[in-house]
Amino acid sequence: MSEIMVNGAARQVPGGWRVADLVDALGYAGKRIAVELNGEIVPRGRYGEVSLAARDQVEIVVAVGGG
Amino acid sequence: MQQTERKRVPAGEDPLVIGGRAYRSRLLVGTGKYRDFEHTRTAIEASGAEIVTVAIRRTNIGQNPNEPSLLDVLPPERYTILPNTAGCFTAADAVRTLRLARELLDGHDLVKLEVLGDRDTLYPNMPETLKAAEQLVKEGFKVMVYCADDPIQARALEELGCVAVMPLASLIGSGMGILNPWNLSIIIDRAKVPVIVDAGVGTASDAAIAMELGCDGVLMNTAIAAAGDPVRMADAMSMAVTAGREAFLAGRMPRKFYAASPSSPTTGLIG
């Protein structure tokens, strides 16, 4: 297991996980979200290729009401 | 609510063109501060707005991911979704937020930039706004930018390549109306891109005054969302923006200090 940060909170994930595994585990598969890994955008089409490593900082965002 | 029938500007007759795309409605609305999505949806429908702003925030991990989301009630196929950077206090955070927004909205590049300077006033931080605008334009974004009602800053933003400048009428959420119509008039007179009043509109007359000054559009959120009856106020705002625009295009009569020209004939009086 490795510890990563997801939206500011620590989370243990199995070694070898890719972004797609995290997105699936959180129930976001097929949802309109955007993912940033260590400050860089991860395009939707690349979730299956990009690996997660210990100390990674992941941000997952959605659109919410705002002015 | 059933929209009442009234004469509207036909499509194509007097469009608002932003970033190469034409819009019929000159009222742009925010989606914040509503009680629930149903209130958001009905108020926005009543406003007739085609461009609606949204904020970008972290997902709430642990919350049921299958609950409806804002974009389910405001589908991007129907509305032009304008992601904003509300809550950002630095150029870096604003740029990062809009890169995420572009990914979220499948490459959509029309965005609203706002970089705030102060939590109490929400007044824009213009040095950071200029820095972010320059970077975003370089990255291919079409930037609509919230700014101070300062003609020099507005011109600088236009020169950087922003597609619309959006000076405040008064502080965000204040409902204080247009506090400096003369500054707005200078900005309108000089700008070659659309000028949209953003922030401070409190009621319908404020929106009408903005349009009578020659603004190309008005963006508001709280004036509708915090009204006693948001749907009714949304409709009122729609009429006010149309009325103000029509009055501007019609050209108002000159102001006269004395009523030297009565409306009724001066001859044929009895007695």
Neighbours of B169 (CB within 10 A): 30
Q: What is the interface pTM, i.e. ipTM, of the complex? A: 0.95
Q: Mind giving me the DSSP string for B29-89? A: EE--S-SSHHHHHHHHHHHT-SEEEEEEEE--BTB-TTS--HHHHS-TTTSEEEEB-TT--
Residues of B with Cβ-Cβ distance to A35 under 8 angstroms: 103
Nearest to A67 among B53, B59, B64 (CB): B53
Residues in chain B: 271
Please give the pLDDT value at position B256.
85
Work out the widest C-alpha separation in chain A, in whole angstroms: 41
Q: How far apart are alpha carbons B50 and B79 in whole angstroms?
A: 5
Neighbours of B257 (CB within 10 A): 5
B221, B190 Cβ separation under 8 angstroms: no
* H or E element in which residue B162 lies: none
**Number of Cβ pairs < 8 A linking chain A and chain B:** 102
Q: Along chain B (271 residues), what's the average pLDDT of each consecutive run of 10 residues?
A: 47 84 96 93 96 95 87 92 96 97 95 96 96 98 98 98 97 94 96 96 97 98 96 98 96 85 86 83
From the list A35, A62, A67, the residue facing B222 with the nearest CB is: A67
Q: Which residues contact A21 (CB under 8 A, 6 or more apart)?
A: A13, A14, A52
Nearest to A31 among B30, B65, B222 (CB): B65
What is the average per-residue pLDDT within A8-25?
95
Cβ distance of B59 and A61 shorter than 8 Å: yes
CB contact (8 A) between residue B58 and residue A8 = yes
pLDDT exceeding 90 applies to what percent of chain A?
A: 93
Question: If 0-12 CB within 10 Å is exposed, 13-18 middle and 19+ buried, where does residue B216 land?
Answer: buried
- Please tell me whether residue B227 adopts helix, strand or coil conformation: coil
Say if CB B48 and CB B9 are below 8 A apart: no
What residues of chain A lie within 8 A of the CB of B111, using their CB?
Answer: none
Give yes or no for residue A6 having a pLDDT over 60.
yes
Question: Does A59 contact chain B (CB < 8 Å)?
Answer: yes
Nearest to A17 by CA among A54, A42, A67, A43: A54
Give the whole-angstrom CA distance, residue B244 versus residue A49. 54
* Residue range A42-52, pLDDT digits in tens: 999 999 999 99
Active site (catalytic) residues of B: 112
Selected residues 37-66 of chain B with any CB under 8 Å from a CB in chain A: 40, 53-59, 61, 64-66
Per-residue pLDDT, B257: 83
DSSP code at position B264: S
Q: State yes or no: pLDDT of A12 exceeds 60.
A: yes
